[in-house]
Amino acid sequence: MTAEDRIKQTVTANDVVLFMKGTKMAPQCGFSQRVAGVLNYMGVDYADVNVLADEDIRQGVKDYSDWPTIPQLYVKGEFVGGCDIVTEMTLSGELDQLFEQNGVTYNKDAADKIREANA
């Protein structure tokens, strides 16, 4: 199975996937830590893929999304963005809307607290 096939299988088999450096419990870069922190705080159930463990996946996910950086967030098989985009979407409420539109469970109060803390 090619890296592209493995990536496609992962993003279609899971409602929310974060390709990141490290794991959701032990991120290994600040950008991955920020996105994982938001998802963890909001109580989102997501699959984490450590790109540092597999060079084919690390490069493959960049090719798959045509996006040059890690982390990369996918919701219902669709590429959402990297750290800056996820941060902006969290602060604007767009991430809440995306989760709601796709039936992804998350803690609305936690999302509101993130926005309050950054207002």
For residue 46, the cross-strand partners are none
Are 19 and 46 contacting, i.e. CB atoms less than 8 angstroms apart?
no
- How many alpha carbons fall within 13 Å on the CB side of residue 31? 15
> Is residue 29 part of an annotated ligand binding site?
yes
d(CA 41, CA 77): 22
Are 71 and 22 contacting, i.e. CB atoms less than 8 angstroms apart?
no
d(CA 9, CA 94): 26
Binding site listing for [2Fe-2S] cluster: 29
Binding site listing: 29
